[in-house]
Chains A and B, each alone.
Chain A
Amino acid sequence: MSQARISLTVSAALLATASHAHDYWFERNAEDYLLHRGHRFSQHQGEKEVPFDPEIITGTYCLRPNEVTPSPAVVGEGYPLRVEGPCIALMVTADSGYWSQTLTGTKNQPKDELFGVLRSWHALESVKRVEAWSERLSDPLSTDLEFVFSENPFALTVGDKLRLAVVFRGEPAQGVTVAYHGDPRGVTGDDGRINLRIRHKGLQLITASLEEPLHSNSADKRVRSTILIFEIQ
């Protein structure tokens, strides 16, 4: 595939994904974290906060200081969702169900319950916040779609290359579109790897998505998306 084709594919896929994905992000609250959902970073318009039912959470993975195996984190109730810390890295996975885009808006319902559906998808989402470096972060914390580091990202400065890999079920995920602050930058290779350049200090937001056809009356496809958040001083 030509570079051009790659770029086009990436752009198209990312734009498509971005058009129907929510942002998830953590805010620190003492040693805990508050998980929000909405449109804080998205390129598209939408409600700033889109509360969710804690029932959509399918897993929490907290890598605690001096531990090498992530353990589940206690979650609270209500919104924003409180997740117990502290964690060197925290990942939360969610199944937000079926979504359908209609002429009157996007509904959190399967397509067979609505009329005039333009497109529909099953959304499986995850968000990972990394606070500090650990060699353990070279491996995934979960079996869902997830970013892993090839090197310590906190040693990087603006202009450096951030070398990442996307893994799914513990294996390199090929052909996954990756964006830096919403800007599609490429797709992962056979080894799941992709390089991104650090453009600024502060919050770093990297997203990836993977689509697969879904032979179901409920949705046309399944969209797996993941968000990686960390800060460069």
Chain B
Amino acid sequence: MANTLTEHLSISRRIFVACALAGVSVPCFSHHGVAGLGAAGLRGPGAPVESATSATLPAGGTLAYLKLDHAKYETYDSDPANPESDYANYWMAGVGYGVASWFSAYLFLPYHSKVDEPGGLDSRGFADVSVMGQVGFKYDEGWRLIPDNESLDDLEDWHFTLFGGFTLPTGDADLRLDDGSIDAGKSTGFGKPSWSLGLTATKMLSPQWTFNQELSTIGFQEYEYDDGNRTKFGQEIRANSALIYRAYTDLDRKLRVDLSMEAQYLHLGRDRTNGVDETATGGDMIYALPGVRVYWDNISAVFGLKSPIWTELNEESQQQGGEGSEDYRLIFTFSSLF
């Protein structure tokens, strides 16, 4: 239960951050990277693989987004009689719309597949839909909302976004596993809306280098499951820093290749079940996430390899299958702006 609860957090993370902002962790937004996002253009600021960026969608522009986060977990027990979490695939489809040059709205639909070692209990299904809003602003001899039109010189200014959102309980919080049990960590919904709030800052340090910072948090409500248990997941806090290098640009072919390195700090609060702190949940960790982003015309594709480089989980030896205990995570996103 504890392990799956921890992993559940990663689900939520993906829903909010990822989505919303995503390069959203934005993987969703980073795509602005789409030649869009992050994109801002073939010579504009770069976008990280997963962290939220300060790029808003152009007014009237629509972003289509798809992400796969494949998490492979370390296993602690070689006894086949005690199957552990093997891997999980977190899919995310999303659409964004530029309501104004300074305000973007996003809708994300996740699909999760969690697979245990043979003999374990798997789960899969569509998870909670999330809705996000993003307000973009900048400092250009004074604070101002992102204008309709910016030159490359304008894009060199500090850009910021405030984003927030919530999930709708469209997933199945009371999903029954093959043995008839409910494991909150393997459910595909939270049961009640959860919320997210974040801030991003982005600065082109030079024509080639871009710095990106995300600070965000996600909160949950207590939900009573059909089996009578009440669970409230611990709050998540993230601080993601990234440096992006524009390695190759071919204006004629509308092609750009960026190299990105992210350091992601994640604090997971301890979950509470039936009013009592849950053991084997929560902790702190730092991930390294190198990746490459390719822009071509109005398309952006990203590949990254994410792995924990420092962990201080509350009960680490018992938190197999949760965030911080991955062997690695492979992240792929595809987005198009039209």
Contacts and interface: CB of A to CB of B under 8 A. Distances in A.
A1 interface: yes
Given A3-B41, A8-B251, A15-B251, A197 B153 contact: yes
B337 A195 contact: no
B135 to A, nearest CB: 17
Interface residues of A, number: 26
Given A7-B42, A7-B44, A190-B149, A2 B141 contact: no
A196 B44 CA distance: 14
Contact of A4 (B42, B141, B150, B154): B42
A12 B251 contact: yes
B34 interface: yes
B19 interface: no
Nearest to B42: A7
A166 interface: no
A178 interface: yes
Interface in B290-328: 295, 297-298
Interface in B115-144: 140-141
Nearest to A194: B151
Interface string A145-162: 000000000000000010
A186 B43 CA distance: 11
A141 to B, nearest CB: 24
Contacts of A178: 151
Interface in B243-266: 251-252, 254
Interface residues of B, number: 34
Contacts of B251: 8, 11-12, 15
Given A1-B61, A186-B153, A8 B148 contact: no
A96 B35 CA distance: 38
Contact of A3 (B35, B141, B153, B254): B35
Interface string B268-308: 00000000000000000000000000010110000000000
A184 B254 CA distance: 15
Contacts of A88: none
A15 B43 CA distance: 15
A188 B42 contact: no
Interface string A174-209: 000010100011111110011111000000000000
Given A7-B42, A7-B152, A161 B254 contact: no
Nearest to B33: A4
Interface string B26-64: 000000101111011111100000000001011001000
Contacts of A193: 149
A195 B58 contact: no
A144 B212 CA distance: 43
Interface string A1-31: 1111111100110010000000000000000
Nearest to A15: B251
Contacts of A2: 32, 34-37, 39-41, 57-58, 61, 298, 337
A5 B153 contact: no
A11 B148 CA distance: 19
Contact of B151 (A4, A11, A12, A186): A186
B331 interface: no
A196 B140 CA distance: 12
A197 B252 CA distance: 25
Interface in B228-248: none
Interface of B: 32, 34-37, 39-44, 55, 57-58, 61, 140-141, 147-156, 251-252, 254, 295, 297-298, 337
9 contacts: A4-B295, A5-B337, A7-B43, A8-B35, A11-B251, A12-B251, A180-B153, A193-B149, A195-B154
